Amino acid sequence: MSDLWWEKTVIYQIYPRSFMDTTGSGTGDIAGIISKLDYLKELGIETIWLSPMYPSPTDKPYHLHDCGYDISNYRDINTEYGDLEQFDQLVAEIHQRGLRIVMDLVLNHTSAEHPWFVESRSSRDNPKRDWYIWKDGRGKNGKKPPNNWTAMITGDAWKYDEHTQQFFYHEFLDFQPDLNYRNPEVQEEMLNTIRFWLNRGVDGFRLDIIHALFEDEQCRDEPFAIPLPFTSKYGLIKKTERQLHLPETIDFCKRIRETVDEFGGKFLVGEVHGPAEDQRKYFGDVANGKSDGLNLVFYFNSLNTLLNVKKVKSLIKTAESSFADPLLPTWVFSNHDFPRRIFRLKNDIKKAKLNAALQLSLRGVPCIYYGEEIGMSNPTLDPKTSKDALSHHLRLLPAVSRNLIRHFGLLLNRDEARTPMQWSSTENAGFSPPEGLPWLPVNDNFKRCNVEQQEKNPGSLLHCYKRFLKLRNNSPVLQSGALKIIEHPNFPSSVLAYERYLVDAPAKCLVLLNLSNRAEHFSVPYQNGEILASTLSQSKVMVANKIALEAWEAVIIEVEGIAS
């Protein structure tokens, strides 16, 4: 059994702008996070991941900045949240409660307002010119992009700069120029930035879109593929041969790992999109039970997975084969870029409870998005008034393109997944003081969906999360055990069953999930069985190893022996 804390942790993502506003500015702040640390401790999570809080041009119109994911200074705190002194206090308060803190680090690109880029675009011979990716255009006047590369969803990946008459590369929005990681100075600067925050006591980093760091050195065209209208004028779905998952990116991830390991007891979790086999590469090479790349990688296959036996079983089997021991999958069902999980579950609280039990009983590291524990949902917000720069690009696309984006499980307006945390039924849902105006509208359902009300209701989703988190935190089997899917004739076809177990330990946990609208009655084929937790009851018992599962109920049972 591992003694590495991050292998047994539970991560909770906070989007700072939307968590807790103590000043009435309408924007969440560091003091607000500190004020809710006891809530998080009682909830049962251990590691807090903070979306970016660095300086960013958030004073500009919303369609010209990315709410912190376009950084203009990597070694400071945006004044809308506080300052470095308050951040240091936050780190101390987190550690005082036995919790951990992970910062969001955007290594791939900066803001166009970053002093490095301001220098870089000032002239072709500026010392910072090679810190970014500049290329001559094509065509007789050089006004055509250097190649056919597309940005993620939003069209061409090149923007022409009139002043220096070259194009710069941006994998994302055109005010987020990509850094040039083929420049050793850039690599050292970013590794030293990691050291800067580790010296301030942070426990690790979530690495934003880490698979996009390097691009083809020769800037060759991507191969053409299936034409779709939301990609670019070249009409192609970008393949990853030239822009994503390059071997040099994997090598640099190993350098990041070496840097983090200088400090001991820290960890890295990467945002890597693509098939599980591509995600697996970012763990690096495995030898003597250890890997030399990223410690963890988000397993995004779960985001769109429907709750039926076939789909969930396939999800688990892929994770178990792709991230076999000593690797671990990181289970994420919602985040700041995707629809909230309960939206996919059609606002069904029973299904949300079952989903929580699934996430907290699988082998690997669970990552919970703020508000998920109370079932916060996506409101419908007008894209014309969106605070999300990406949505302003997407709403100009033709209807067929927008429908395709929805089909792939993406949000046309990410504001809908970022609304203020719903703490109470008071004005502004308790997020801002009554006189404040939250930066995004509070969801209309806040009076019936909030922490205060669910705290009072033992049958709430919040208490279900607490129940399963407490069990997981006190169970070495659930924290570190292996997983085996159980096929047995006693189990109905609508029930998914898997064991969590430690080698050479007699007791194991049997997880049963009834993924259907009907109740199921059957016997559990083990020597002994005691129900440790249920999604729908706090006092469920078994009689002679017989169990009755309600529709969409999940249970964890302590059993002994082998299924007979």
In angstroms, the CA 88 to CA 90 distance is: 5
Are the C-beta atoms of 146 and 136 separated by less than 8 Å?
A: yes
Backbone angles phi, psi at 192, to 5 degrees: -70, -30
Tokens (6 digits) for 396: 């100009």
- 420-432: burial string, b at 16+ Cβ within 10 Å, e else: bbbbbeeebbbbb
Calculate the alpha carbon distances from 215 to 133, 165, 218, 245, 297 in Å: 10, 21, 9, 9, 21
Q: How many helices (H) and strands (E) does the chain have?
A: 15, 22
**DSSP code at position 543:** B
Are the C-beta atoms of 30 and 41 separated by less than 8 Å?
A: no
Tokens (6 digits) for 331: 């289970």
In angstroms, the CA 387 to CA 270 distance is: 26
In angstroms, the CA 338 to CA 372 distance is: 13
Is the peptide bond between 61 and the residue preceding it cis, with omega within 30 degrees of 0? no
In angstroms, the CA 539 to CA 130 distance is: 64
Closest Cα to residue 374, out of 43, 15, 18?
43
The yes-or-no answer on residue 271 being catalytic is yes
The yes-or-no answer on residue 499 being catalytic is no
Region of residue 155 (left: phi > 0; alpha: psi -120 to 50; beta: else): left
Between CA 194 and CA 17, with CA 387 as vertex, the angle to 5 degrees is 45
Calculate the alpha carbon distances from 195 to 199, 212, 284, 384 in Å: 6, 22, 21, 41
Q: How many CB atoms lie within 10 A of CB 130?
A: 14
In angstroms, the CA 104 to CA 83 distance is: 17
Tokens (6 digits) for 382: 């007008």
Catalytic residue chosen out of the listed positions 29, 113, 174, 208: 208
Q: How many CB atoms lie within 10 A of CB 84?
A: 11
Calculate the alpha carbon distances from 440 to 62, 349, 389 in Å: 12, 25, 14
Tokens (6 digits) for 101: 């803190």
Catalytic residue chosen out of the listed positions 178, 271, 416, 520: 271
Q: How many CB atoms lie within 10 A of CB 248?
A: 14
AA letter at 392: H
In angstroms, the CA 259 to CA 246 distance is: 21
SS3 of 143-202:
CECCCCCEECCCEECEEEECCCCEEEECCCCCCCCEECCCCHHHHHHHHHHHHHHHHCCC
Catalytic sites, residue numbers: 208, 271
